[in-house]
Amino acid sequence: MTLLSVILLALIQGLTEFLPVSSSGHLALGGLLMKVPGGDISFEVVVHLGTLMAVLAVYRKDLTDLLAGIFRRDRGSLTLAGTLAVASVPAALAGYFLQDSIEGLFGSPVTVSVMLLITGSALFSTRFVKPGTRSRPTVSGSLLVGVSQAVALLPGISRSGFTISAGLFSGIRREDAARFSFLLSVPAILGAALLKLGDSGAGDTGLPLMMVGFAVSAATGYVALRLLLRFLRAGRFSSFAWYCWLLGIAGLSVSLIGG
């Protein structure tokens, strides 16, 4: 890949990994539009690890408090860790058993566009949710969030959009729903990176370009995560639905006309 394509794809990954507009959908459509050849899995791993750094930076205190609480056998920390573990299971199973089937969908812009329309509808539905009162989900609520994360393996389905929406429908407060979603993303991103590393070969992206991709995705991911939290506090989470709908309609139009 060229420096320009690396920067653009890393920007897309960083900005859309946390904004509820589907990073997988943007990368799939962006890669097809820029005619970037697929198969360089090592680059995908690097930019995903870059966005992981953004999560660690924003939620470093929550993570350190959680780990310290687990070692102290604090009940609240153990409960949170348990619900995170429950929520991690569906995506882990889906990623392990359905990886090949899911990856086959990335080459279908029609499928990606339809999934973006579904993401927009899920985001818009949160307008009708009553404000939550809980700081963390129940076991059934965490399972709902986990299933939402598993569904978000499909290209065009936003992980943050679906998991935060599920948290809101489970009665969790806005910022706590985001906190749970992004704490849950840590094992999800690490697991996906390890899974992809097992399939990675020698890509055409050299180390200097890899470092550029990592830095760009980390920096833009941090900005995007902070921006999303501002939208949540202001009660404007559902506003992202319009963007997903527009992009989905545009993708379908280009695909059908071009096809």
Q: Which pLDDT does position 4 carry in this prediction?
A: 86
- Is the pTM here over 0.85, yes or no? yes
Q: Which two tokens stand for residue 206?
A: 């050299």
* Amino acid 37: pLDDT: 52
> What confidence score (pLDDT) does residue 205 get?
67
**Residues with pLDDT less than 50, the chain:** 39, 202
What is the predicted pLDDT for the residue at 177? 96
- The set of long-range contacts for 126-133, using a CB threshold of 8 Å and a minimum separation of 24, is 126/165, 126/168, 126/169, 126/237, 126/238, 127/238, 129/168, 129/169, 131/173, 131/174, 132/167, 132/168, 132/170, 132/171, 132/172, 132/173, 132/174, 132/176, 132/177, 133/171, 133/173
List all residues 6 or more positions away from 93 whose beta carbon is below 8 Å from its beta carbon: 150
What's the pLDDT at 199?
61
pLDDT for the residue numbered 203: 56
